[in-house]
Chain A
Amino acid sequence: MIIILLLFILMLSLFVLNTKDLLHGIIALSAVSLLIALLFYLCNAPDVAITEAAVGAGVSTIVFIGAIRYTERRDK
């Protein structure tokens, strides 16, 4: 189970770095954080899971969107 989740996380990270639209990359980064939170729950670490879910899938996404909002969204 943990190995399957780690494979998903690795593939999504490769997608984040190779996409031409930065908004797609930000949403994929949020999905990576959600999978990492699930991994932490499976490793018997509830405190770290709550923090990773709230920070990675919430605050980090907003911070990234705030940076590309008034600038450009495409990566040439």
Chain B
Amino acid sequence: MIERILLFIMIIVGFWGIVTKHNIIKKIFALNIINNAVVILFVLEGSRIGSNAPIMESGITHIVDPVPQALMLTAIVIGVCISALALSFAFRLYKITGTFDVREIKRQVHHEA
């Protein structure tokens, strides 16, 4: 139960980071933190119903649930792909406007439009 509360606090910290921070790279850090928290939640909940790793050597019983582990493998690799794509857009924004600060970019876009 305490683990679930700590993971809930981590998700709230991630969302607070996306909303509050003015640097684009900090927003991408917060996105990564939310991804990590959700992955930990699934694997932790799936590991409560057993006590052995899901490798069926001879004589192993009472294994952990293998389904959330298989899903989280895909989720981790997709998370790093999303971070890379978001960072490429941040790089392009820096080349066009010269700053990572969201308020400065907003001001420049309003001046041009």
Residues of A within 8 A of B (CB): 2-3, 6-7, 9-10, 13-14, 16-17, 22, 25, 29, 32-33, 36, 39-40, 43-48, 51-52, 55-56, 59-60, 63-64, 66-68, 71-72, 75-76
The one of A45, A51, A52, A68 that contacts B25, using a Cβ cutoff of 8 Å: A68
Contact present for A55 and B69 (CB under 8 Å): no
The one of A39, A51, A72 that contacts B40, using a Cβ cutoff of 8 Å: A39
Q: Is B83 interfacial (CB-CB < 8 Å)?
A: yes
The one of A6, A14, A39, A71 that contacts B100, using a Cβ cutoff of 8 Å: A71
Contact present for A6 and B47 (CB under 8 Å): no
Contact present for A7 and B77 (CB under 8 Å): no
Residues from chain B with a CB closer than 8 A to the CB of A43 are 43-44, 47, 64
Q: How would residues 14 to 51 of chain B score, 1 for a CB under 8 Å from any chain A CB and 0 otherwise?
A: 10010001010110111011001001100110110011
Contact present for B2 and A71 (CB under 8 Å): no
The one of A6, A25, A52 that contacts B76, using a Cβ cutoff of 8 Å: A52
Residues from chain B with a CB closer than 8 A to the CB of A48 are 39, 43, 69, 72-73, 76
Contact present for B84 and A10 (CB under 8 Å): no
Known: A13-B13, A17-B17. 4 other contacts (CB 8 A): A9-B40, A17-B29, A64-B28, A71-B100
Residues from chain B with a CB closer than 8 A to the CB of A36 are 36, 39-40
Can you give 12 A-B contacts (C-beta < 8 A)? A9-B36, A9-B40, A13-B10, A17-B33, A36-B39, A44-B47, A48-B76, A55-B76, A55-B77, A63-B80, A75-B23, A75-B26
Contact present for A63 and B83 (CB under 8 Å): yes
Closest B-chain residue to A42, C-beta based?
A: B47
